[in-house]
């Protein structure tokens, strides 16, 4: 608690150069029988980030999250959490909480019994934190889990994960099957928990708009490969939407990387990585910023384009 | 205490929206020196945004000397962006209202008045520089 408050005052400054990455994968590969779920994934995420893991169905998101949580072993390559290799070691696993997509809870348990269960299973369990969260959320302790609403079940599952006091919280599609109000409520309480604890969060979703303001790091998986890994603000600053005459579009594409290209008649709309060739002063081109959703869609439609800054130096 | 709201369609970065809203409140006197800004946890628990975004906005305000963090307490307003005294503000407001009425009577629309005011303001700062 004290450390959290100190962070609050000094302003959180994630990504200190000397602290180990929260998550580091080197050539991580997972094959199920004949199919490659993940292939040579290399990425590094600084501590204190809230990471959006996005990609189409079957891109390898769940596989990556299960590898991070130590629930499955890689076919090849390695993964480290805060500098420690993920394996069967209990010490490393105690730092990670994993929230599965189907949020497995026992419907016959009451909320209080569920907390007791969590306390017995987790050495670092923070019961006061769990009870405080549930009180704030107006979830009665004597209610049977099976009688809770979908939003309340999601909040209870999140509470169990947070009360473990993990340094890394991994969530597979935490917002799936929730209505818009419940999605916003879960996100609000997750962000408050992040502010309080400073934990790193990795969460997957295929709905980018759910994650836009909550996440400050983006990882895009496509076809088992890492297509983008980077800070959201930097990614948005490095891309522009260019609207102008279609006959000049090929000239632009020859000078700077164009990821999205849609043309209708005489007009072209290009999503481009900005660089020296960006026509910022050419009045024939209107230059505007891009949203995270536009950026993700353009890259997913263009699987050969990648943004992978600073390859990790620590090979294993 | 100020309450933030976000405009997702504005195209303005979220942390800048927070910075602008604090400055706006400082200009209007809704926030005065000594007032506390909401804690990062309060803001993110309300808006469902990343804590680092709020921290970045507060750092920016701190860098400009408008607010200061006090260890263990929170972030507090240091400076008002409102020039002149409250009495001066009331007087100038009256004068300006009179000017607006005169313009309306002469057939000027809102756009005309805004353009005129902006142009006089620009001329006056030009003269100060020269």
pLDDT means per 10 residues, chain A with 316 residues, are: 40 53 94 91 94 92 93 91 79 84 86 93 90 92 93 92 94 89 91 93 88 92 93 91 91 89 91 80 86 92 79 46
DSSP string, B6-75: --TTS-S-HHHHHHHHHHHHHHTTSS-TTPEEPPHHHHHHHH---HHHHHHHHHHHHHTTSEEEETTTEE
Residues A187, B50: C-beta atoms closer than 8 Å: no
Clarify whether residues A288 and A148 are in a common domain. no
Q: How many domains does chain A have?
A: 2
Q: Please indicate whether, in this complex, the C-beta atoms of B72 and A48 are within 8 angstroms of each other.
A: no
In this complex, is the C-beta atom of A137 within 8 Å of any C-beta atom belonging to chain B?
no
- What does the pLDDT read at residue B72? 84
Last residue of a domain, one of A209, A231, A253: A231
Chain B positions in Cβ-Cβ contact with residue A12 (cut-off 8 Å): 40, 51-52, 55
Point out the domain boundary residue: A179, A212, A231: A231
| pLDDT given at position B84 | 66
Q: pLDDT at position B97, please?
A: 93
Q: Are residues A144 and A79 in the same domain?
A: yes
Q: Which residue of B has its CA nearest to A186?
A: B48
In this structure, is residue A307 part of a structural domain? no
Compute the distance between CA of residue A260 and CA of residue A247 in angstroms, rounded to an integer: 16
A91: domain range? Answer: 2-231
- Nearest-by-CA chain A residue for B54: A11
What is the per-residue pLDDT for B12? Answer: 82
> Which residue, among A187, A171, A273, has the nearest Cα to B6 in the 3D structure?
A187
Closest-CA distance of chain B to residue A286, Å: 15
B53/A9 Cβ within 8 A: no
- Give the Cα separation of A47 and A202 in Å (integer): 11
Give the chain A residue nearest B16 (alpha carbons): A233
A192 touches chain B (CB under 8 A): yes
CA angle in degrees (0–180, nearest 5) for A272-A278-A281: 135
The pLDDT of residue B79 is 82
Do residue A24 and residue A124 come from a single domain?
yes
């Amino acid at each position: 608690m004290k450390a959290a408050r100190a962070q609050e005052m000094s302003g959180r400054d994630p990504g200190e150069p000397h602290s180990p990455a929260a998550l580091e994968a080197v050539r991580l590969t997972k094959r199920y029988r004949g199919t490659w779920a993940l292939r040579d994934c290399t990425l590094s995420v600084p501590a204190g980030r809230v990471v959006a893991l996005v990609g189409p169905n079957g891109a390898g998101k769940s596989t990556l999250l299960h590898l991070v949580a130590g629930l499955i072993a890689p076919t090849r390559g390695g993964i480290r959490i805060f500098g420690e290799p993920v394996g069967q070691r209990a010490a490393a696993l105690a730092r990670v909480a994993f929230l599965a997509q189907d949020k497995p809870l026992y419907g016959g348990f009451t909320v209080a019994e569920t907390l007791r269960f969590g306390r017995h299973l987790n050495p670092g369990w923070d019961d006061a934190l769990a009870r405080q969260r549930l009180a704030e959320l107006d979830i009665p302790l004597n209610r049977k889990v099976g009688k809770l609403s979908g939003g309340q079940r999601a909040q209870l599952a999140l509470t169990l994960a947070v009360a473990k006091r993990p340094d890394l919280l991994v969530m597979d599609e935490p917002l799936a099957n929730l209505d818009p109000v419940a999605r916003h409520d879960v996100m609000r309480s997750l962000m408050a928990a992040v502010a309080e604890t400073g934990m790193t969060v990795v969460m997957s979703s295929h709905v980018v708009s759910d994650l836009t303001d909550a996440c400050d790091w983006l990882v895009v998986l496509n076809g088992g490969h890492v297509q983008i890994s980077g800070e959201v603000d930097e990614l948005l600053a490095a891309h522009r939407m260019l609207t102008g005459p279609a006959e000049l579009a090929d000239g632009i594409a020859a000078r700077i990387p164009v990821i999205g290209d849609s043309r209708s008649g005489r007009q072209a709309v290009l999503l481009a990585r900005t660089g020296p060739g960006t026509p910022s002063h050419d009045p024939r081109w209107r230059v505007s910023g891009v949203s995270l959703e536009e950026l993700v869609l353009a890259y997913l439609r263009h699987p050969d384009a990648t943004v992978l800054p600073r390859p990790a130096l620590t090979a294993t | 205490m100020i309450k933030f709201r976000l405009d997702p369609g504005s195209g303005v970065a979220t942390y800048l929206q927070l910075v602008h809203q604090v400055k706006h409140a400082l200009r209007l006197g809704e926030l005065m020196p000594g007032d506390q800004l909401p804690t990062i946890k309060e803001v993110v628990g309300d808006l469902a945004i990343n804590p680092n975004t709020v921290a970045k906005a507060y750092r920016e305000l701190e860098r400009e000397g408008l607010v200061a963090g006090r260890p263990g307490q929170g972030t507090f307003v240091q400076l008002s962006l409102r020039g002149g005294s409250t009495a001066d503000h009331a007087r100038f407001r009256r004068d300006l209202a009179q000017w607006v009425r005169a313009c309306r009577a002469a057939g000027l629309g809102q756009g005309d008045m805004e353009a005129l005011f902006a142009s006089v303001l620009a001329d006056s700062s030009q003269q100060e520089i020269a």
